[in-house]
Amino acid sequence: MCAPLVVGNWKMHGSLAANRALLGALVAGVQGVESAVCVPFPYLAQAAERLKGTAIAWGAQNVSEHAQGAYTGEVSAAMLTEFGCRYVLVGHSERRQIYGETDAVAAAKFAAAQGAGLRPIFCIGETLAERDAGRTEEVVARQLDAVLGRCKFGDAVLAYEPVWAIGTGRTASPEQVQAVHGFLRKRMSAATRILYGGSVKPDNAAAIFALPDVDGGLIGGAALVAKDFIAICGMAQRKG
């Protein structure tokens, strides 16, 4: 079993003032478990400044597949390392669905991040239509194979996030989560952390983290509420 990891995905939320309060509360409250926050690009310097020397790591939510050049609006992996990022989310379903990122683009971003020394948190997951059609395993295998076909997974983190459970308040049942995590575990080394994400809250985190092939969580909405994120970290700690 891997040591648990809890990652907050702030998405496009925050302000300098709100982040100051949230980061301060997390520094005071998160203990005994590996954790990280993935913040919007403009707040990386603030996160680095506040979290340096603490047990909480930080990272970004996206990265360019290119090293540099005429890519207006993009941010390279090397730039993220200059701000002390350890992690970067790659292939989040919102990137795939809203911004049309394909499996190939997600894999290229994974390679760019890893090449710069970042640890990608590679997100995969099926839509409700795909689940209803019985295609969950096929979809997550295809998404994962795009990366495994071109890179070693190394110390990257895998995150299973069923699209229908993200931001909907509808969590996958423990049976559904374990079925997919068990499937993924067979394809990964025993040392790869496999996180679950999708409406993880203080009232359901313990049951999800107790599952044998779940090594922590990727937390969206609840990561913006200090007491909720701290409570969720505490539940992961009990597993570790």
**What x-and-dash track marks residues 164-183 binding ligand PGA by CB under 6 A?**
--xx----------------
By CB under 6 A, tell whether 4 contacts ligand PGA. Answer: no
Question: 83, 98, 110: which is closest to 11 by C-alpha?
Answer: 98
Using a 10 angstrom Cβ sphere, with 0-12 exposed, 13-18 middle and 19 or more buried, the burial of residue 102 is: exposed
The CB-side HSE value for 61 (13 A sphere, CA atoms) comes to 22
DSSP assigned state of 102: -
Considering only 4, 59, 120, 220, the residue that binds ligand PGA (CB under 6 A) is 220
Q: How far is the CB of 200 from ligand PGA (least distance, A)?
A: 5
Considering only 199, 204, 214, 230, the residue that binds ligand PGA (CB under 6 A) is 199
Instruction: Clarify whether 161 is annotated catalytic.
Output: yes
Out of 34, 65, 92, 126, the active site residue is 92
Question: 58, 60, 59, 6: which is closest to 32 by C-alpha?
Answer: 6
Out of 65, 94, 101, 161, the active site residue is 161
By CB under 6 A, tell whether 77 contacts ligand PGA. Answer: no
Interatomic CA distance for residues 151 and 77, integer angstroms: 16
Interatomic CA distance for residues 30 and 237, integer angstroms: 10
Based on CB atoms, which residue is closest to ligand PGA, 50 or 92? 92
Site residues for ligand PGA per CB under 6 A: 9, 161, 166-167, 197-200, 218-222
